[in-house]
Amino acid sequence: MKALHLLTVCAALALTVSHARGEDAAAGEAQYAESCINCHGKAGRGMASFPSIAGRDADYIADRLMQYRAREMVGPNSAIMMSWAEKLSDEDIADLAAYISATFQ
Protein backbone atom coordinates (compact mmCIF):
# COMPACT_ATOMS: atom_id res chain seq x y z
CA MET A 1 0.00 0.00 0.00
CA LYS A 2 2.77 2.39 0.93
CA ALA A 3 4.48 1.87 -2.43
CA LEU A 4 1.27 2.59 -4.26
CA HIS A 5 0.76 5.79 -2.33
CA LEU A 6 4.29 6.89 -3.17
CA LEU A 7 3.62 6.20 -6.85
CA THR A 8 0.54 8.40 -6.76
CA VAL A 9 2.50 11.23 -5.18
CA CYS A 10 5.21 10.88 -7.82
CA ALA A 11 2.69 10.95 -10.66
CA ALA A 12 1.05 14.06 -9.23
CA LEU A 13 4.43 15.75 -8.88
CA ALA A 14 5.41 14.86 -12.44
CA LEU A 15 2.20 16.44 -13.72
CA THR A 16 2.84 19.64 -11.78
CA VAL A 17 6.41 19.86 -13.06
CA SER A 18 5.46 19.29 -16.70
CA HIS A 19 2.83 21.99 -16.43
CA ALA A 20 5.27 24.45 -14.88
CA ARG A 21 7.61 23.83 -17.79
CA GLY A 22 5.43 26.00 -20.01
CA GLU A 23 3.67 25.18 -23.25
CA ASP A 24 1.42 28.10 -22.47
CA ALA A 25 0.49 29.36 -25.93
CA ALA A 26 -0.97 32.63 -24.57
CA ALA A 27 2.33 33.49 -22.90
CA GLY A 28 4.09 32.46 -26.11
CA GLU A 29 1.91 34.83 -28.12
CA ALA A 30 2.83 37.78 -25.89
CA GLN A 31 6.52 36.91 -26.10
CA TYR A 32 6.33 36.49 -29.88
CA ALA A 33 4.68 39.90 -30.30
CA GLU A 34 7.37 41.49 -28.16
CA SER A 35 10.52 39.77 -29.43
CA CYS A 36 10.02 37.92 -32.71
CA ILE A 37 7.33 39.53 -34.84
CA ASN A 38 9.58 42.25 -36.26
CA CYS A 39 11.66 39.69 -38.12
CA HIS A 40 9.47 36.61 -38.52
CA GLY A 41 6.28 38.54 -39.21
CA LYS A 42 2.65 38.43 -38.16
CA ALA A 43 2.06 35.09 -39.89
CA GLY A 44 5.47 33.57 -39.09
CA ARG A 45 6.43 33.68 -42.75
CA GLY A 46 9.55 35.79 -42.33
CA MET A 47 10.83 38.38 -44.76
CA ALA A 48 14.02 38.91 -46.76
CA SER A 49 16.80 37.03 -44.93
CA PHE A 50 14.57 36.26 -41.93
CA PRO A 51 13.26 32.71 -42.51
CA SER A 52 9.68 31.49 -42.36
CA ILE A 53 8.95 29.53 -39.18
CA ALA A 54 5.46 28.50 -40.31
CA GLY A 55 4.47 24.85 -40.68
CA ARG A 56 7.00 23.55 -38.13
CA ASP A 57 6.14 21.40 -35.15
CA ALA A 58 6.81 22.44 -31.57
CA ASP A 59 9.82 20.15 -31.18
CA TYR A 60 11.52 21.66 -34.22
CA ILE A 61 11.03 25.21 -32.96
CA ALA A 62 12.16 24.35 -29.42
CA ASP A 63 15.25 22.47 -30.70
CA ARG A 64 16.31 25.43 -32.85
CA LEU A 65 15.85 27.92 -30.01
CA MET A 66 17.89 25.72 -27.66
CA GLN A 67 20.64 25.44 -30.27
CA TYR A 68 20.76 29.21 -30.71
CA ARG A 69 20.76 29.68 -26.95
CA ALA A 70 23.72 27.29 -26.73
CA ARG A 71 25.42 29.45 -29.39
CA GLU A 72 25.44 26.67 -32.00
CA MET A 73 25.58 27.72 -35.63
CA VAL A 74 22.49 26.47 -37.47
CA GLY A 75 22.51 28.62 -40.61
CA PRO A 76 24.59 31.54 -41.92
CA ASN A 77 22.79 34.12 -39.77
CA SER A 78 22.63 32.25 -36.47
CA ALA A 79 24.44 35.08 -34.65
CA ILE A 80 21.31 37.22 -35.04
CA MET A 81 19.16 34.57 -33.37
CA MET A 82 21.66 33.88 -30.58
CA SER A 83 21.26 37.35 -29.16
CA TRP A 84 17.49 36.79 -28.92
CA ALA A 85 17.58 33.20 -27.76
CA GLU A 86 20.00 33.86 -24.91
CA LYS A 87 17.27 35.81 -23.12
CA LEU A 88 14.82 32.88 -23.23
CA SER A 89 14.17 30.51 -20.30
CA ASP A 90 13.17 26.86 -20.85
CA GLU A 91 9.62 27.94 -20.11
CA ASP A 92 9.76 30.78 -22.67
CA ILE A 93 10.98 28.32 -25.30
CA ALA A 94 8.20 25.82 -24.54
CA ASP A 95 5.60 28.62 -24.64
CA LEU A 96 6.92 30.04 -27.92
CA ALA A 97 7.12 26.58 -29.52
CA ALA A 98 3.51 25.83 -28.50
CA TYR A 99 2.28 29.16 -29.86
CA ILE A 100 4.25 29.11 -33.12
CA SER A 101 3.44 25.50 -34.04
CA ALA A 102 -0.26 25.91 -33.26
CA THR A 103 -0.72 29.29 -34.96
CA PHE A 104 1.49 29.44 -38.05
CA GLN A 105 0.43 26.48 -40.17
Residues binding ligand HEC (CB under 6 A): 35-36, 38-40, 49-51, 53, 61, 64-65, 74-78, 80-81, 84, 96
CA-CA distance, 78 to 88, in Å (whole number)? Answer: 15
Provide, rounded to whole angstroms, the least separation between the CB of residue 105 and ligand HEC: 15
The least distance separating ligand HEC from the CB of residue 59, rounded to whole angstroms, comes to: 11
Measure CA of the first residue to CA of the last residue in the chain; give whole Å.
48
Q: In whole angstroms, what separates CA 104 from the centre of its chain?
A: 13
Residue 9 vs 75, nearer CB to ligand HEC = 75
Closer CB to ligand HEC, 14 or 55, in the complex: 55
For ligand HEC, the closer of residues 12 and 43 by Cβ is: 43
- CB within 8 Å of 80: residues ≥ 6 apart: 39
CB of 41 to ligand HEC, least distance (A): 10
Question: Nearest distance from residue 40's CB to ligand HEC, in Å?
Answer: 5
Buried b (16+ CB within 10 A) or exposed e, 47-85: eeebbebbebebeebbebbebbbeeeeeeeeeeebbeeb
Question: Smaller CB distance to ligand HEC: residue 27 or 80?
Answer: 80
